[in-house]
Amino acid sequence: MTQSLRGRAAVVGVAESDLGEVAPGLTHLDLVGQATARALKDAGIAKQEVDSLFTASSYLPMAAMDTAEYLGIRPRHLDGTNIGGSSFVSHLLHAAAAIEQGLCTTALIVYGSTQRSDGGRLVSPTRPDPYEEPYGPRYPLSMYALATSRHMYEYGTTREQLADVAVAARAWAQLNPAAFERKPLTREDVLGSRMISDPLTVRDCCLVTDGGGALVVTSAERARDLAAAPAYLLGGGEATWHRNISRMPDLTVTAATESGRRAFDMAGLTPGDVDVVELYDAFTINPVLFLEDLGFCAKGEGGPFVADGGIAPGGRLPVNTNGGGLSYGHPGMYGIFTVIEAVRQLRGDCDERQVDGARVALAHGNGGVLSSQVTALLGTAETLN
């Protein structure tokens, strides 16, 4: 059963909407529409062929129906699962399963947000946790600051090492014309920036931008006949252990330990087989935790692993090659962009930031406060043998 979806579906179209700060008057659905049109063009597939829609939204409680109406499609399969920023990596796995089971043939996965144009306010249905609310936490900053502090205490992780995560992201962003922030960034800049929630400064936190993205997924058999090089789903896994940070079993260990193991088991691969890694980096602690939990280094060694350019261009492992949520863009929920960049790397479409010989890419989504974890492994046609 763990091998059942390996190589059975492929991403055949990817695109973003306009990014950063969009034109006044555009809505989040307008950005979904932009990304959709571009992704379908990339795939060489007509909108009328789309028979399945997957989406999540911070704006709409019935996002799948509203989005289908806006796009003018009549899908026979809908999935509006919302588990935060990891939703779209989850949708990729669900789409592959739906295609394999004959529920649909052509899946569209979409997201859009005008968070920056809305004044930086993330519209969210999140309810205050009654056991945490009396302490006045700043959601989600205080929660990630707790995890950061615990990792520093338990493993000796330093603020300098965390700063190097942001510096690495900026170095990749400087190679990406679409990135929102491309100005030089040093370790000293990060450490000297305004404190937001101790020990996280403003440069330890993701951007607030507008943006949207879209993925087109179909069967591996059909993908071989399309114009764009397919990125095949090799493995995937999902896991969640908690919703609120006060119920997280261990602030230094996430459910990525499980989602990653499931993805690698399905793919028949190990972390050593991965050429490029795209992680949800809402805060600088995220890549440290996920690199440990996904098996790229031992627990507690994430700080030294990312230090001194370890995940920057020319480092030991290419991580967040588009600039990530820290420098490329972060429109409320970031997960879809990890898949978009993974696909582009496998296609060889990344120009200056291209990782030479990339055959296997990992995309990892995070939802809530280190709550939902979803891992996907994608590969080129060579990896199917």
Q: Which long-range contacts (CB under 8 A, 24 or more apart) does 139-143 make?
A: 139/369, 140/282, 140/368, 140/369, 141/196, 141/197, 141/200, 141/205, 141/283, 142/197, 143/245, 143/369, 143/370
Give pLDDT tens digits along the chain (385 positions): 456 899 999 999 999 999 999 988 899 999 999 999 999 999 999 999 999 999 999 999 999 999 999 999 999 999 999 999 999 999 999 999 999 999 999 999 999 999 999 887 655 556 678 888 888 888 899 999 999 999 999 999 999 999 999 999 999 999 999 999 999 999 999 999 999 999 999 999 999 999 999 999 999 999 999 988 999 999 999 999 999 999 999 999 999 999 999 999 999 999 999 999 999 999 999 999 999 999 999 999 999 999 999 999 999 999 999 999 999 999 999 999 999 999 999 999 999 999 999 999 999 999 999 999 999 999 999 999 8
**C-alpha angle with apex 90: 86 to 93, nearest 5 degrees?**
155
pLDDT of residue 75: 97
Residues 121 and 18: their CA atoms lie apart, in Å, by 19
Element (H, E) at 257: helix 256-267
d(CA 363, CA 280): 8
Question: What is the token pair recorded at 126?
Answer: 């999140």
pTM of the complete model:
0.97
Compute the chain's Rg from CA coordinates. Answer: 19
- What is the C-alpha separation between 211 and 232, in angstroms, rounded? 25
DSSP codes, 210-240: BEEEEEEEEEHHHHTTSSSPPEEEEEEEEEE
Question: How many Å apart are CA 382 and CA 368, to the nearest integer?
Answer: 35
Give the Cα separation of 148 and 205 in Å (integer): 12
SS3 letters across 153-216: HHHCCCHHHHHHHHHHHHHHHCCCCCCCCCCCCCHHHHHHCCEEECCEEHHHECCCCEEEEEEE
